[in-house]
Structure 1
Amino acid sequence: MSVSGIEGLAGAAGFTPYVAPQVPTAPAAATSGVSGVSASRSSGPDFGDLVLDGLDRLDGVQRTSDSLAVQAATGELENLHDYTIAASQAAATTQVTVAVRNKAVEAFTEIMRMQV
């Protein structure tokens, strides 16, 4: 998804727009398990790696927003809208990260309630 005008900001004041990671849609290869039960394993990145990558990107977006806030406060920032965009992007990224975390905790809690 692209928002017109954001692409031009890539070089402005070190601002790098957040790009969501793309998950490959390769078919999963089935492997034989115990008692004939098959388990599938994707050749894509591990879930843990995706989580760490997302947190690294969140940290980068927040650092960019913070540095632009300092530049705006000191008068070094020529275009105030760069900071406004970065702050909005940091807020949205944080909200998505918190929502994903909440869903993961909710799923874990639901799994722990299951009786074996």
Structure 2
Amino acid sequence: MEIAPLAITPVSMSATSHLGETQEPKEVKNFGQYLTDALKKTNGLQLESERQNALLAAGRIEDVSQVVIAAKKAEIALQLTLQLRNKAVTAYQEIMRMQV
């Protein structure tokens, strides 16, 4: 008895509103794109924090809370990124230890 693999065909989806308009399907991002976007946002927060610090050092900012908030946002984003990296490395190491 021969077992044939499943043939998965891409499904095109479209939605129709109650007004009869056709809505375009949303673009689906893959994991790599989400990861790239997240790293770009983290980098942007770090750059904004550095810019705020430079402006504070130059005496151009009167409200110090803006600088503190920007620094905390950058710190939290960096900590989250590092924790995600650590979890990914741990998962990879666990998979490599599995016996097949």
Fold conserved between structures, TM > 0.5:
yes
- For 1:24-63, what aligned pairs fall within 5 Å after superposition? 35=5, 44-63=28-47
Moved over 3 A (4+): none
Give the corresponding residue for 1:31: none
Gaps of 5+ in 1: 1-33
Any idea what SS the aligned residue of 2:60 has? coil
Gaps of 5+ in 2: 9-26
- Number of residue pairs aligned between Structure 1 and Structure 2: 79
Give the corresponding residue for 2:19: none
The two structures have a TM-score, normalised by structure 2, of 0.72
Amino acid at match of 1:58: T
**Paired-residue identity, %:** 37
| 1:9-32 per-position Cα deviation (integer Å, ceiling 9, x unaligned) | xxxxxxxxxxxxxxxxxxxxxxxx
Amino acid at match of 2:45: V
1:64 aligns with 2:48: yes
Amino acid at match of 1:64: E
Amino acid at match of 1:90: A
Q: Tell me: higher relative CO, structure 1 or 2? Use CA pairs within 8 A at least 6 residues apart.
A: 1
Give the corresponding residue for 1:110: 94
Deviation of residue 82 (structure 1)?
A: 0.4
Structure 2: how far apart are the matches of 1:44 and 1:95?
Answer: 27
Deviation of residue 77 (structure 1)?
A: 1.0
Structure 2: how far apart are the matches of 1:114 and 1:70?
Answer: 49
Deviation of residue 78 (structure 1)?
A: 2.2
From 50, 61, 74, the equivalent of 1:77 is 61
Q: CA RMSD in A?
A: 1.9
Structure possessing the higher radius of gyration over alpha carbons: 2
